């Protein structure tokens, strides 16, 4: 059977869809790159914003228009809106998040232990971008109750994967040729709390028991970290990039969001991280126009975000999600004002990102090359990432995809840096 896979949203969704692809192929089926030749399609949906939900519905409709008669829909939007998902054209099955890990076994009517899954990334999955990084799901769900968040409702309570299972996946990724593993989860920092452990123990185990060249942590809630946590970066394999969602720089807005941090605590956390890693890239998420946000509160937040000198960030206009506390709050900010505040944040992030990139001009850093495109007979144009998430472009006499090499950073180019291969 020919199977087409699609995923909308976060890295966790991407990790899950790649795992499904390996399982389908281990069971003898073919993963195809376009829906028009598929016998079946699986769509992993997202509901974090109204736009993501719309994108999820649109993806299913586009696939249906190609003629695929058997569409399986899963993920957060499908879990929250099972009736709507089932009513979409050609949808034969809706799988909620509680059964997602067993989706392939259920669809094929096979026991889960029947899958002899190949090493992660040993062979590229058609239709899924060939990756130099493997996203390893280590945790799912969340016990927080941020008033804007629908994901907590869609994913359920926090649960952690055992260390041995994560180590097996990391080893599999390395055996498959991957140079970087990214640990991901809905609430990554809560890994281990359900059995009395801490995320630092998982990272230390990966250090001890694998030879992964690079290890990257995805989004971490700021209240899960302390100064001791940053000692992990003594091992240079751990990428110097922290994504710490702030959501607002205003104390009163954070309280309405039910976030477990304050601007004062967040400022101290960043200072501790930068003391250990002066070159660390710290990025964040901000919500513009949260219910009740006055002009003064927006200004307080904006000035705090400016003070933090982030290496970059994502600004989202507040999106009311049915079933969340924030959707019921009074003082809903008009959409026009949300968009205006969002634009101001995006401008701020562009300026702070540029300032961060400029600091590295003239330095030598190592780059993992993610793509190579032949320019002419004499050279290849390469693009890749440093450990602190700087996009670097350089020319080379041969394709160097999935290699790590030193580069002299010479200039700022667009949203990245231009470099020259060292040595």
Indicate the helix (H) or strand (E) that contains 406: strand 404-413
b/e sequence 102-125, b meaning 16+ C-beta within 10 Å: ebbbebbeeeeeebeeebbbeeeb
CB atoms within 10 A of CB 205: 16
What's the pLDDT at 114? 63
Sign of the four-CA dihedral 203, 207, 208, 212: positive
From the list 278, 281, 344, 273, the residue with the least C-alpha distance to 315 is: 344
> Helices marked H in 11-49 — which ranges?
11-26
Dist CA 326 CA 309 (whole Å): 28
Nearest CA to 175 among 115, 119, 225, 126? 119
Contact (CB, 8 A) for 179 and 144: no
Instruction: Identify the pLDDT of residue 228.
Output: 87
Residues in the chain: 423
List C-alpha distances in Å: 290 to 154, 248, 343.
Answer: 21, 9, 15
Compute the distance between CA of residue 174 and CA of residue 163 in angstroms, rounded to an integer. 16
Sign (positive or negative) of CA dihedral 123, 129, 130, 133: negative
* CB burial of residue 74 (10 Å; 0-12, 13-18, 19+): buried
Name the stretches of the chain with pLDDT < 50. 122-129
Q: Report the 3 state secondary structure along 55-101.
A: HHHHHHHHHHHCCCCEEEEEEHHHHHCHHHHHHCCCEEEEECHHHHH
C-alpha–C-alpha distance, residues 136 and 119, integer Å: 13
Paired residues of 91 in beta bridges: 71
Partners of 404 in the β-ladder: 368
Calpha distance 20→42 (Å, rounded): 9
Instruction: Give the integer Cα–Cα distance in Å for 196 and 165.
Output: 17
Write b or e for each residue in 352-373: b if 16 or more Cβ atoms lie within 10 A of its Cβ, otherwise e.
bbeebbeebeeeebbbbbbbbe
> In angstroms, what CA-CA distances link 115 with 40, 147, 165, 267?
19, 40, 15, 47
Beta-bridged to residue 407, according to DSSP, are 365, 421
- pLDDT given for residue 126 in this prediction: 46
What residues pair up with 93 in beta bridges, in sequence order? 72
The answer for 156, left when phi > 0, alpha when psi is -120 to 50, beta otherwise, is left
């Amino acid at each position: 059977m020919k199977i087409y896979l699609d995923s909308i949203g976060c890295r966790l969704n991407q990790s899950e869809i790649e795992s499904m692809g390996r399982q389908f192929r281990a069971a003898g089926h073919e993963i195809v790159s376009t829906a028009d030749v598929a016998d079946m399609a699986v769509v992993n949906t997202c509901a974090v914003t109204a736009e993501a939900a719309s994108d999820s519905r649109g993806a299913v409709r586009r696939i249906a228009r190609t003629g695929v008669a058997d569409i399986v829909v899963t993920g957060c939007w499908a879990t929250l809106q099972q009736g709507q998902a089932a009513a979409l054209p050609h949808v034969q099955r809706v799988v909620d998040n509680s059964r997602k890990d067993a989706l392939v076994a259920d669809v094929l009517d096979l026991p889960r232990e029947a899958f002899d899954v190949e090493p992660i990334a040993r062979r590229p999955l058609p239709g899924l971008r060939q990756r130099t990084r493997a996203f390893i799901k280590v945790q799912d769900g969340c016990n927080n109750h941020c008033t804007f968040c629908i994901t907590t409702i869609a994913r359920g309570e926090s649960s952690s994967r055992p260390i041995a299972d994560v180590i097996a996946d990391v080893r599999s990724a390395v055996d498959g040729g991957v140079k970087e593993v990214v640990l991901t989860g809905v609430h990554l920092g809560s890994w281990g709390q359900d059995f009395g452990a801490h995320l630092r123990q998982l990272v230390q185990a990966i250090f001890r028991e694998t030879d992964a060249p690079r290890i990257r942590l995805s989004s971490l809630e700021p209240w899960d970290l302390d100064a001791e946590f940053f000692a992990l970066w003594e091992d240079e394999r751990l990428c110097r990039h922290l994504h710490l969602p702030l959501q607002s720089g205003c104390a009163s807005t954070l309280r309405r969001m039910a976030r477990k941090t304050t601007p004062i605590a967040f400022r101290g956390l960043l200072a501790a991280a930068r003391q250990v890693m002066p070159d660390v890239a710290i990025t964040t998420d901000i919500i513009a126009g949260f219910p009740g946000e006055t002009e003064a509160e927006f200004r307080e937040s904006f000035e705090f975000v400016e003070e933090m000198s982030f290496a970059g960030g994502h600004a989202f206009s507040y999106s009311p999600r049915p079933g969340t506390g924030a959707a019921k709050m009074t003082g809903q900010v008009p959409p026009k004002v949300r968009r205006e505040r969002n634009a101001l944040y995006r401008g701020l992030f562009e300026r702070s990102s540029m300032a961060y990139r400029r600091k590295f001009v003239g330095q030598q850093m190592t780059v993992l090359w993610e793509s190579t495109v032949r320019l002419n007979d004499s050279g290849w144009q390469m693009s890749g990432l440093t450990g602190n998430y700087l996009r670097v472009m350089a020319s080379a006499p041969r394709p160097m995809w999935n290699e790590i090499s030193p580069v002299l950073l010479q200039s700022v180019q667009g949203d990245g840096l231009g470099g020259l291969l060292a040595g």
